[in-house]
């Protein structure tokens, strides 16, 4: 793989039917999922090289950079990269062993290891236990990911990036330098660092005996992708690594898409089946569930999940995975079709209004209220 561009992010560098499985709350799901024995705290033995920055804002913008939207600063200027570096440094100091206790999951032939990074991100190391070949999804902090690779004794063959944002792609450069045969996969529509293998929608990639399918899910960014691990060969449910499309009880902000675009991406993900395990890009469960409880006051599934999440976080335990089936019972971003949520928002479908257009209007209102909730 070639060096990271010295310019602000631009273009990338490289040329199932639903299953009727009742949704179950995670407190029940986790009892059925085969947890691996916990690994010890990984010692971060390897020091990654400093990543190069990229161009400063043009001269005419210097001195009034504060006028740029915060998102543009983060995603398109050197200041965003420097902010990411500061995030990494502060998180390593505050959470020397990660913000959550790692809870590996094992199925015959595959191991999924969540790696808590930064202050609330997750990277995921997915291992073919037969060949010891592995892939990592969204390596935010290369030091933490490398420590997990060494602790597990595996060979890193692939990096799957859901999108370009530094808190999901910032480790690509350093890991590629350490693992010469590693390939970086993602959408060519996003400026993903070190991208070697641009993927098309529905394209599949194999790593050992693991098969990942890339699904284009624009909205958060124009090139956002999610990755679905086929669980069939291992007797497990499908596993959705959702990046910033979908969180437990939440979803990402549509920075580069419309409510209609985000709704279509969420509907695509929900078509994977209710038993699909959701592995999100962030630990946002408490915030999202608390917000959702303000919208639907009489949702018993939501109340039960919130109580469970409070207990998990008090013990510094991760709240992932959930399932897509249970997400439909409490995630307001997935309940735009539910009359109880529409009534709570004071929204009703207009005469002659297309259903999806109305659902996009509901989604937009939920997003607006969530943004206001975060700001208070």
Task: Kindly report, residue by residue over 90-102, the tens digit of the pLDDT.
Answer: 999 999 999 999 8
Taking the C-alpha atoms of residue 74 and residue 226, their distance in angstroms, rounded to an integer, is: 22
When divided into structural domains, the chain yields a total of 1
- The residue ranking higher by pLDDT, 16 or 157, is 157
Is 359 inside a domain boundary? no
Residue 184 predicted with pLDDT over 90: yes
What CATH number is associated with residue 160? 3.60.15.10
Is 327 inside a domain boundary? no
Is 6 inside a domain boundary? no
Is 209 inside a domain boundary? yes
- Catalytic center residues: 163, 165, 167-168, 220, 244, 282
What local confidence, expressed as pLDDT, does residue 262 receive?
Answer: 98
Taking the C-alpha atoms of residue 350 and residue 109, their distance in angstroms, rounded to an integer, is: 51
Is 369 inside a domain boundary? no
- pLDDT confidence of 78, banded at 50, 70, 90? confident
Encoded tokens for 216 = 């284009």
* Strand runs labelled E in the chain: 105-107, 110-117, 121-128, 133-137, 155-160, 183-186, 197-198, 204-207, 210-216, 225-229, 239-243, 246-247, 250-251, 277-280, 322-323
Residue range(s) defining the domain that contains residue 164 = 26-45+95-282
Task: Kindly report, residue by residue over 100-148, the tens digit of the pLDDT.
Answer: 998 899 999 999 999 999 999 999 999 999 999 999 999 999 999 999 9
Residue 323 predicted with pLDDT over 80: yes
Cis previous bond, 19, omega within 30: no
- pLDDT confidence of 35, banded at 50, 70, 90? low
Any idea of the CA torsion for 148, 154, 155, 161, to the nearest 10 degrees?
Answer: -40
């Amino acid at each position: 793989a070639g060096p990271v561009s010295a310019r602000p992010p631009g273009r990338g560098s490289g040329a199932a039917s639903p299953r009727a499985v009742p949704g179950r709350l995670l407190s029940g799901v986790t009892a059925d999922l085969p947890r691996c024995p916990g690994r010890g705290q990984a010692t971060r033995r390897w020091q990654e090289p400093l990543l190069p920055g990229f161009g400063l804002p043009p001269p005419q913008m210097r001195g009034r950079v504060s006028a740029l939207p915060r998102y543009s600063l983060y995603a398109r200027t050197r200041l965003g990269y420097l902010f990411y570096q500061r995030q990494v440094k502060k998180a390593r100091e505050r959470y020397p062993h990660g913000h959550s206790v790692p809870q590996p999951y094992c199925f015959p032939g595959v191991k999924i290891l969540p790696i808590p990074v930064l202050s609330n991100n997750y990277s995921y190391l997915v291992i073919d236990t037969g060949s010891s070949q592995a892939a990592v999804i969204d390596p935010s902090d290369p030091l933490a990911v490398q420590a997990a690779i060494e602790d597990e004794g595996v060979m890193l063959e692939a990096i799957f990036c859901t999108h370009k944002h530094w808190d999901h792609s910032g480790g690509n450069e350093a890991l590629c330098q350490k693992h010469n045969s590693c390939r970086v996969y993602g959408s060519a529509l996003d400026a993903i660092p070190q991208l070697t293998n641009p993927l098309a929608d529905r394209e599949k990639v194999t790593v050992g005996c693991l098969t990942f399918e890339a699904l284009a899910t624009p909205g958060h960014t124009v090139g956002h992708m999610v990755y679905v691990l086929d669980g069939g060969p291992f007797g497990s449910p499908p596993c959705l690594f959702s990046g910033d499309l979908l969180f437990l009880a939440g979803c990402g902000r549509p920075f580069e898409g419309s409510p209609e675009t985000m709704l279509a991406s969420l509907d695509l993900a929900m078509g994977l089946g209710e038993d699909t395990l959701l592995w999100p890009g962030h630990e946002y469960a408490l915030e999202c569930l608390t917000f959702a409880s303000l919208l639907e006051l009489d949702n018993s599934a939501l109340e039960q999940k919130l109580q469970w999440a409070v207990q998990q976080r008090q013990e510094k335990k991760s709240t992932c995975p959930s399932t897509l089936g249970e997400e439909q019972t409490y995630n307001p971003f997935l309940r735009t079709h539910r009359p109880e949520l529409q009534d709570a928002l004071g929204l009703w479908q207009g005469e002659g209004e297309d259903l999806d257009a109305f659902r996009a209007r509901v989604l937009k209102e939920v997003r607006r209220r969530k943004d206001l909730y975060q700001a208070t």
